[in-house]
Structure 1
C-alpha cells in the first residue's frame, strides 16, 4: 500500500476531494518523514509541527464544507530558507543574520500565493550561506547529506528542499536558482525541479544576484510542478521585473500532449569543456532515445559552441555572481566577516575588485549567449543535456575530492549558462549510477516556453523513464547541527 507521504500533490488533492484521507493525516505523515529527513540528512532549519497541524485542521474543515481554499488546500509544503515565510526568521545559513532584527509578518510572493491556496507549511529547509554555492552546508546549520547516501552531498543551494521532497517531507518545495540551485540538488537527489523563465515567478526581496536569480518548484514529478506553477506565477506588485500574465490555460493545460513532432537537440556535453561520467552519459543518451520513441525528432547538436566551449560564459558568470556576493556582505564589519564560510569570503573579496567595466563586459557576453540561444531555438523546440556531468560526491565539500575544480562552477557547466540566458530549464531523473546515486537529464526551452519543458518532462514520467526507487537512508554517519521544532 502506498504511504500518504509518498503521494504527489495532485494525488493528495484528489484524495481529499474523494474523502479517501484528510489533510491532517497527510500532514502527520509528512511530519514523520520530516523527522526522518532531519535525522538522516539534516534537511531542515526549522520544523513547526504545531502550526502545520493547525493549518491542516483548518484545511480539513474547508474540505468537509466542500469549500477548499484553492489548488493546494491541505498539501504539506516546505520553503528554502532564503525566502521569507511569515511567522519565523529567514536566517539564510549565516551566523551574521540576527533573528531578532527581522520582521516576521511578511511572506515572499511565491509563499504568499501558496498560502492563499491553502498550503500547509511544515518549515524551512537548509541552504548554504546566502545561497552562494552548488552544495548545501553552512556555518549556521551544518551539512545536508544526500537521501540516497547521507555521506554524499545533496547538492545546492536548494539542497534541503530536494532532500525533503525525496524523503516524503511534503511533495512540494520552493527553491531558488541563480546558477543551477534547484536543478543541481534535483539531479543529485532524484527529484524534479524547474527553473522558470526569469520573471515568471515574482521574487521579493530582490536578490543581490540580480536577474540571475529565479524562484522555482521542486517536486515529485512534472505534473506537481505544473500545479505549483499555476499558483506561484500570479502577479505581485513587489517585483518590478515580473513578466506579464500567464498565458490562458496556465501550465496544466496541454501537459499531457506528449512530444510527438517536437524538434529536440541532444547535446551530450554542451561543448565538451568538462568530461561527463560514463554512467551519466549513458543515462542521458537513453533519455534521448526514449524521447525519440515517444515521437520526437531527436538529433545530436551543440548550441552556442564558441561561447560554451571556451571560458567566456564561466568568467562572465563569475563577474556577475561574485559581485552580487560582495554586495551581500558589504555591510558586515571585520568581526562578522570572520564568521562567514571561508569560500564565500574568498569570492566576495574577488567580487569587490571587479570594475563597472568588468560588469558591463560580462553583460555583453551574456547578451551574446542569449542571442545565440535564441537563434538555436529557431531550429529546435528543446535542448537535452545532462543536468550535471557527475553524481553526488562527498558531503561538506564544494568540489569533488581530488578533482581539478577550484569552485563549484567547475563541475556545473550545464546549469549556469541558462541563468545567464534566463531560459526555462528543468532537471528530470533519468536513472542511477553504479553506486545507486541519481542522475538528472536537463531539458531547456526558449524563453517563455516553460510549459513546453513541463510537457516534455511529463511525457518522460508518463513513460516510466523518470521513475527512481525511493531513498530509504540510514541515519547520517556523523552528527550535525539539528533544527529545533518551532525554533530559530
Structure 2
C-alpha cells in the first residue's frame, strides 16, 4: 500500500481525498517513509521537514473532511528545489558558502501559488552548486544518484527533484531550467519535465538581463504537469515582466490528439552532440507513432545554427556573480568547474557579450520562421543516456571536445537554445535504450502555445506503454498506523 500511494498521480489522490477513501496524512506518511528509506542511497533531498509536512497533512485532512479543500493540490506531497525560496526554510543552492541560519521570509511566486492550493511541502531537493551544470553533485551535499541505476547520474541541475519523482519520494517536484536543468534529469529518470514560455510562470527574485532560467514541474505523467501548470502560472505582483495571466486550464483539451498538426522532427539541432543510435531509434519510433495518429511529420534539418560559441559566452557571463568578490579561501570551497567557468566569464569583453546577444537574437528569428511552417519541433531530449555519477560529462563528449571546453556541459545541445529563445519545451518518456534506461523526447512549440506542447506530450504518452520506475521498500506492507480519514485530535 505504501508504494501504491506514493506513486499515485496527484489528480487521483485528490479524487480519493474527496471520496474520503484515502487521507492526506496516510499519503504523506507513506512518502516520508520512502524518503527515510531511499534518500540515503540516492541523495534526493538536502533537508526534509517531517513534522511540518505531517502537520500540513493533518490540516489538509481536516479541510477535506469539511469538503473545503484549499485548491487543486490540497494534500499532495510536493518537493521544492533548493534554489527556490520557501518561507521559513533556508536556501543553500548546493553551496558551502550559504548559511542555514538565513531563513527566507517569503515564498517564491510559484511556491506561494502551490501553498495557496494546499500542497504539502516535504523538503528541499538537491542540485549542483548554484544550479550551473546538467549533473547533480555539490560540495555541500555530495553526489546524487539515478534510481534506475545508482552508479549513474540523474542529470541536473534539478536532479534531486527527478530522483524524488522517480523513486516515489514526491508527487509534485519543482525544478528550475536555465540550460536544460528540468528536461535533462526528467529524461534521464523517465519523467515528464516542462519549462513553459519564459514569463508564463512568474519568478522572484528577478535574474539578470541574460534571462534564461525557467521554473517548472517534474512529474510522472503529462496530466500532473498540466495540473501543476494550472497552479503555478497564476499571477504574482512581484514579477512585473511576467506574461499577462491567460487563465488557461491546461487539462482542457489535453487528449485532443495530433491529427493535422505539422511536426518537424530534428535529430541534429544546432551544435548538438551526435545522437546515440539506440536513442535515435527510440525517438524515431515515437515520432512515427505521432504520424500514425494523424500528425503531418517531416524530418527537418536544424532550424538554428552556430549555437555553441554563443552559449559558452552567455553561460560563462551568467556565472560571474557567483564568484565575484570572493577570496581564494572561499573559491576553494566551491565546485572547481563552476569557478573555472566563471573565471572565463570575467575575461569577456562587452563586444563578446554583444556578439553572443546577436547570435541569440538570430536563433529567435530562425525559430519564428520555422513556426511559420510547423506547429511543433520534436527532438531527442538528450543525445546520450545517463552516464557515471562522478562525471560532469560523458566520456564520449569530453573526448570529442578541446580541453578548454570540457568545463561546460557538452550534452545539452538540444536544450539550452530554447532557454535563450524563451520557447516552451516539454520532455516526455518515449521508451528505453539498449541498457534499459529511459529515453526522452523533447517537444517545442511557439511562444505562448504551452498547451500545444502538452497535447503532443500526452499523445506520445498515450501511444506507448512506457513503465516508469517503481522502487519497492524492502518489505512493502499495508499501512495500519492510521486508517483513512481518522478523526484528527
TM-score, with length taken from structure 1: 0.93
Partner residue, 1:25: 26
Pick which of 365-374 and 24-33 moved more. Answer: 24-33
Is the contact made by 1:9 and 1:224 (CA closer than 8 Å) also made in structure 2?
yes
Asked whether 1:453 is paired with 2:447, we answer: no
Asked whether 1:357 is paired with 2:356, we answer: no
Asked whether 1:214 is paired with 2:214, we answer: yes
Structure 1 residue 35: Cα displacement: 2.2
Structure 1 residue 329: Cα displacement: 2.0
Is the contact made by 1:148 and 1:471 (CA closer than 8 Å) also made in structure 2?
no
Partner residue, 1:282: 281
Is the contact made by 1:399 and 1:407 (CA closer than 8 Å) also made in structure 2?
no
Partner residue, 1:160: 160
Structure 1 residue 195: Cα displacement: 1.0
Aligned residue for 2:207, secondary structure, equals: coil
Partner residue, 1:325: 319
Gaps of 5+ in 2: 475-489
Partner residue, 1:412: 412
Partner residue, 1:67: 68
Aligned residue for 2:395, secondary structure, equals: coil
Aligned residue for 2:211, secondary structure, equals: helix
Partner residue, 1:338: 332
Q: Give the distance between the partners of 1:19 and 1:463, measured in 2 at CA.
A: 33
CA displacement, residues 298-356 of structure 1 (integer Å, 9 cap, x when unaligned): 11012425x1xxxx312212212211111122132222111110000000100111112
Structure 1 residue 383: Cα displacement: 0.7
Structure 1 residue 214: Cα displacement: 0.5
Asked whether 1:195 is paired with 2:189, we answer: no
Is the contact made by 2:378 and 2:442 (CA closer than 8 Å) also made in structure 1?
yes
Q: Give the distance between the partners of 2:90 and 2:99, measured in 1 at CA.
A: 8
Pick which of 312-321 and 222-231 moved more. Answer: 312-321
Asked whether 1:257 is paired with 2:222, we answer: no
Q: Give the distance between the partners of 2:271 and 2:239, measured in 1 at CA.
A: 37
Aligned residue for 2:278, secondary structure, equals: helix
Is the contact made by 1:197 and 1:450 (CA closer than 8 Å) also made in structure 2?
yes
Asked whether 1:296 is paired with 2:295, we answer: yes
Structure 1 residue 21: Cα displacement: 0.4
Partner residue, 1:131: 131
Structure 1 residue 47: Cα displacement: 0.7
Partner residue, 1:39: 40
Q: Give the distance between the partners of 1:173 and 1:457, measured in 2 at CA.
A: 18
Aligned residue for 1:54, secondary structure, equals: helix
Is the contact made by 1:202 and 1:235 (CA closer than 8 Å) also made in structure 2?
yes
CA displacement, residues 354-412 of structure 1 (integer Å, 9 cap, x when unaligned): 11221111111011000000110111110110000011000021011354241443211
Partner residue, 2:480: none
Is the contact made by 2:425 and 2:445 (CA closer than 8 Å) also made in structure 1?
yes
CA displacement, residues 246-266 of structure 1 (integer Å, 9 cap, x when unaligned): 2x4321221121111111111
CA RMSD of aligned residues (A): 1.7
Q: Give the distance between the partners of 1:473 and 1:335, measured in 2 at CA.
A: 44
Structure 1 residue 189: Cα displacement: 0.5
Asked whether 1:375 is paired with 2:369, we answer: yes
Count of aligned residue pairs for this structure pair? 467
Structure 1 residue 52: Cα displacement: 0.3
TM-score, with length taken from structure 2: 0.92
Q: Give the distance between the partners of 1:474 and 1:415, measured in 2 at CA.
A: 34
Structure 1 residue 225: Cα displacement: 0.7
Q: Which residue of 303, 314, 319 maps to 2:308?
A: 314
Map 1:231-270 to 2 at 5 A: 231-246=231-246, 248-270=247-269
Q: Give the distance between the partners of 2:275 and 2:335, measured in 1 at CA.
A: 29
Q: Give the distance between the partners of 1:260 and 1:131, measured in 2 at CA.
A: 38
Q: Which residue of 383, 388, 398 maps to 2:382?
A: 388
Structure 1 residue 128: Cα displacement: 0.3
Is the contact made by 1:9 and 1:75 (CA closer than 8 Å) also made in structure 2?
yes
Pick which of 214-223 and 176-185 moved more. Answer: 214-223
Asked whether 1:120 is paired with 2:123, we answer: no
Aligned residue for 2:353, secondary structure, equals: helix
Map 1:445-484 to 2 at 5 A: 445-465=445-465, 467-472=466-471
Gaps of 5+ in 1: 476-488
Structure 1 residue 103: Cα displacement: 3.5
Pick which of 386-395 and 315-324 moved more. Answer: 315-324
Structure 1 residue 18: Cα displacement: 1.4
Is the contact made by 2:230 and 2:248 (CA closer than 8 Å) also made in structure 1?
no
Structure 1 residue 432: Cα displacement: 1.2
